[in-house]
Chains A and B, each alone.
Chain A
Amino acid sequence: MGKLTIGCFSSLVGSLSLDFAVKLSEAAVKKGHKVDLWLSGNAVMLSKKGQKAFRDYSYVQKTVDELIKAGNLQVTACEACAEARGYHKEDTMEGCKRFSMDWYLASCFDADRVLLIGGD
């Protein structure tokens, strides 16, 4: 089994690329792989607690929560990106982490595959 690191940059909750990142993470974890999901730019909002599900609106927080609890998925948000958006540590979803980009770089060096998904 391998490790996949996905760097997700500048995608808001509801964007196609962020949904893709979560669905790919889910498929990889289900096949026994480990996934590190790094959230940068607007993508940090995926790790904010209190998201609500609406009909016909993308809602991936439940999937992320389940995958974190099941193990093999780590979700880490860029701390500076979060603070710059007024999203503080106490607002972070349980199980998600906040670090500087050093965490992402270390994860990339340790990964079998790296996918960087750029901004929308």
Chain B
Amino acid sequence: MKLGVLMSEYRAGTDTLNRLSAEKLGVIFVGNGAYHATVKENGKASPVLEKAATFYVLAEDLESRGYDASAVDGRVKVVTYSDLVDLVFNDYEKIIWI
């Protein structure tokens, strides 16, 4: 199954994500989840980015938190709402929110 996960929290949801597996896994950081794409705690990027998945972050949620694309980890692609619609309909069969 091709599973898209909308990750909306920074301090929660990681346990749930770690229990998920899929033939193709996409993680889209939205809301406060956008911090996973940018923040480095003690010099280390978010451990979520170590998971075998394709990562995206919603541009609007990134910008509303004072970041731009230059602050985003190289493993994460910045997407718009329009791009997200395409991901939902074309790239992933199931979409969940955590």
Contacts and interface: CB of A to CB of B under 8 A. Distances in A.
Interface of A: 2, 4, 16-17, 20, 23-24, 26-28, 30-31, 33, 112-118
Interface string B54-68: 000000100000000
A115 B85 contact: no
10 contacts: A16-B31, A16-B32, A20-B30, A27-B81, A27-B82, A27-B84, A30-B82, A31-B82, A113-B95, A115-B96
B31 A24 contact: no
Given A114-B95, A115-B6, A115-B97, A26 B81 contact: yes
Given A16-B31, A113-B88, A116-B96, 16 more contacts: A17-B97, A20-B8, A20-B30, A20-B31, A24-B85, A27-B85, A28-B85, A28-B88, A30-B82, A31-B86, A113-B95, A114-B95, A115-B6, A115-B96, A116-B97, A117-B97
Nearest to A32: B85
A15 to B, nearest CB: 10
